[in-house]
């Protein structure tokens, strides 16, 4: 059975991430979704919450496991018995980063491949950063995240996240 690792920050998991995880699950025996514990960026959710949200969003995919990890991604991939690291590509702007990372990872562990899957067009503009901003400002996030994540973001930002965006004084 072929195991692959889909690593990321998942802060929080979006429909774009779920799309990549399900594409990978259709191609490989087991997909380990690795939630990186200490990324070099400020986080909205702690690791336990990011793992819980990812698990909730992926329960419908039978061959996906969600596990938090620390340290080098390639070391965790090796530990999982993964033959490849899966990453998602949205726009061309992702490519340069992913290429650099893939080369670095290959230098560290030559036997672990990197496989990039293209996102569905509808999620190609979606990032966790953008999502957090829309949620914080009370925008409609229902098309961007699974329901469990929507509820968590509503609780975090303490407001309805899908109210009418037209200011009241502009209503005729």
What amino acid positions are annotated as catalytic residues?
A: 17, 41, 90, 128
Alpha carbon distance 43, 28 (integer Å): 30
Peptide bond into 12 cis (omega under 30): yes
Q: Which residues contact 46 (CB under 8 A, 6 or more apart)?
A: none
Name the minimum Å distance from CB 63 to ligand ADP.
18
> Which of residues 30 and 144 has its CB atom nearest to ligand ADP in the complex?
144
> Which of residues 20 and 112 has its CB atom nearest to ligand ADP in the complex?
20
Name the minimum Å distance from CB 1 to ligand ADP.
23
Helices 73-80 and 92-108, packing angle to 10 deg: 70
CA-to-CA dists, residue 165 to 67, 138, 155, 171, angstroms: 37, 9, 19, 11
Residues near ligand ADP (CB under 6 A) are 8-10, 14, 16-17, 19-20, 39, 87-88, 90, 94, 119, 123, 126-128
The residue with its CB nearest to ligand ADP is 16
> Which of residues 49 and 127 has its CB atom nearest to ligand ADP in the complex?
127
> Which of residues 41 and 168 has its CB atom nearest to ligand ADP in the complex?
41
Name the minimum Å distance from CB 107 to ligand ADP.
18
Alpha carbon distance 64, 151 (integer Å): 22
Edge to edge, the sheet with strand 3-8 lists: 64-69, 30-36, 3-8, 84-89, 113-118
Q: What is the largest CA-CA distance in the chain?
A: 64
Name the minimum Å distance from CB 153 to ligand ADP.
15
User: In degrees rounded to 5, what are phi and psi of residue 66?
Assistant: -115, 125
């Amino acid at each position: 059975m072929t195991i692959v690792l889909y690593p990321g920050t998942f802060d929080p998991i979006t429909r774009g991430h779920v799309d990549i995880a399900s594409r990978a699950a259709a191609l490989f025996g087991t997909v380990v979704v690795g939630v990186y514990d200490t990324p070099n960026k400020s986080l909205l959710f702690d690791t336990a919450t990011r793992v819980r949200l990812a698990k909730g969003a992926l329960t419908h995919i039978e061959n996906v496991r969600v596990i938090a990890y620390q340290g080098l991604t390639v070391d965790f991939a090796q530990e999982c018995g993964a033959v490849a690291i899966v990453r998602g590509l949205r726009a061309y702007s992702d490519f340069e980063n992913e290429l650099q990372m893939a080369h670095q990872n290959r230098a560290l562990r030559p036997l672990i491949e990197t496989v990039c899957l293209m996102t569905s067009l509808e999620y190609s503009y979606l990032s966790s950063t953008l999502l957090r901003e829309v949620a914080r400002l009370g925008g409609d996030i229902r098309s961007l995240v699974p329901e469990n994540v929507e509820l968590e973001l509503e609780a975090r930002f303490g407001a309805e996240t899908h109210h009418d965006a037209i200011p009241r004084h502009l209503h005729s």
